[in-house]
Every structure is written in structure tokens, then in C-alpha cells.
Amino acid sequence: MKSASLVLIVLAVTTHVAVAQPGATAPMQPEMEQPPPPPQQNDDALIDQAIAKAQSEMPTVLTIAKGAFRRARRSVAIGPTVGTWGAAYITPGEADLALTVGLGFEMFKVPVMPDMETLKALVVERVKAVAKDRIKQAFQGRAIDPVYLDQIVLKVYEDVRKEILGLENVRAKTLERPAYTIAFEADRRFGAERWLGRTRVGVGVWKLTFALSASFGKACRGDGCDDRIRGFIGPEVVLHVIPSGAPRANVIDLFLRGDFQATGRADTTTYDQLVVGARYLVDII
């Protein structure tokens, strides 16, 4: 009896010890390091990023400016001129017809673009100013949504670029606004069978050029007339027509002029005249 009790006691102790022994446990997982929170960006930094993204997705400023530069090319026309005009002498009451040839230089008030770096700086500066206003209106103090921000800045970038580069007004005009003109001509009078030399200088006002014309030569007709060289001076009004839409500005000038005798007015006959005509300038540059 005692032996059986002793066996039971030994079994109980052995079982308790076995249960109390630590068994194979799963290895402990190391704690994962949490990534640091992203740095908080202010509105200016977000706008800068959106502008950079818009620039990368849109055509370059140089590409967009090509249309404006093509039109700016029309601001200069220099080359030979040829034309014809008819004159009515005020005092003798006669008329004459002439052929005119020469060299002309004409400038038009077509916008000349700044350099590319200046353009980019203007676009970015203007985009920032406009974008901030639109972002304030869109979010009204709420946290900025980067996706929506990109859409806003992309639209602003396009609007500003059109505004600065004048992309809405790059179409060539038939009547460009003139700036100034300088020309030298030789006029062959058919009736008088004589030559006149002429210089013209003018400035543009709206669509017209108001010029001052000075010429010298022999103006009388027939064998018995006073054949001395006389000087003439008078105003000229010119309408410039550029028929082609190409960058090269070949120009048709329609003009009305008064040639008033400036020398020898004490003579019996003077040769004041009214002139109407047209000439064509071939742009060679």
C-alpha cells in the first residue's frame, strides 16, 4: 500500500515538473520601425511642385512662341520698290503719269518677344500669383488636395502662357499698324520725259503712315518750258497692305501725296501737283 502511494506521489511530481518546464516558444518578432511622417509642405512648395509638373507636361515655351515669332518677323520689311502714280498739276491744269523705283524700309508695330529665359520667368511668376488666388477660392482654408491642385495649376499655366505670349492674337493681319518708314526713289515722268529723285520719311498713326516727301528734278513738259531743276516738298498719306499671311512682309502701299514747288516760285509757271498712286515693296530679308 505504501509502495503504491509512493508511485503515485512520484508520478504527480514528475508531471508537475514537466508542465512547469518552459517549452519551445515562437521567437519574438522585433518591433517594426515606423517610417517618419512626411515633412509638412507649405502652400508655396506645393504650388512650385505643381508648376514644375505642368511645365513638364506642356509643350515648351519655345514651341508655343513660334507663332508669335513668325508674326514678329513681319515687323520689318526692307527691299526694292516699284510702282506707278498719276499727277494732276494744279496751276498748268495738266496731268502726268510716272513710274517709280527705289528702296524702302518699313517697320510695323508687331510685338517683339523677349528672350526665352525672361519668358519662362514671367510665366512662372504670373502663374504663382494667379494660382494662389484660385487655390484660396477653391479650398477656402481646407487641406490642399494635390491632384486637384495639379489640375488648377495646369489650367492656370496654360491661361498665363497664352496671356504673356499673345497666342490668341498671332494671326497675321492684312493691315498691320505701321511704325515708321524711310525710302529713296527715282520717278520717271512719262509726259515730261524727265526724272525726279525723292526721299520719304514717315511715322505710323493707327493704320496709316503720315510722311514728308522731298524731291528734286525737272517737271515741265514740252520744248519751250522752263527746264530748270526745281525742288518739291509735301505731305504723303500711306495705307499699307500686306496681302500674304507668311512671315515675310511684302507690302503694297496705296498713297496720296501733295508735291508743292519749294524753289523757283517766282517764275511764271509753278508745278504744284496732287499725286495718287501705288507701289510694291519686295521684302528681301
Helices (H), the chain: 2-20, 43-57, 61-72, 116-139, 146-165
Cross-strand pairs, 186: 101, 197
User: Is the separation of the CB atoms in 264 and 277 below 8 Å?
Assistant: no
**What SS3 state is found at 48?**
helix
Report the interhelical angle of 146-165 vs 43-57 (nearest 10°): 60
Check residue 40 and give its pLDDT: 47
Which domains are seen in the chain, by residue range?
43-68+113-169 (no CATH), 76-111+172-281 (2.40.160)
Read off the pLDDT band of 218 (50, 70, 90).
confident
Average pLDDT over residues 62-83: 79
User: Is the separation of the CB atoms in 111 and 138 below 8 Å?
Assistant: no
Check residue 43 and give its pLDDT: 64
Considering the chain, what is the average pLDDT of its residues?
A: 78
How crowded is residue 99: how many other Cβ atoms within 10 Å of its Cβ?
14
At 73, which amino acid appears?
Answer: R
Asked if pLDDT for residue 210 goes beyond 80, the answer is: yes
Check residue 112 and give its pLDDT: 66
Distance of CA 136 to the CA centre of its chain: 31
| Chain segment 15-42, per-residue pLDDT in tens | 554 444 555 454 555 555 555 554 445 6
Asked if pLDDT for residue 71 goes beyond 60, the answer is: yes
| Chain segment 36-49, per-residue pLDDT in tens | 554 445 667 777 77
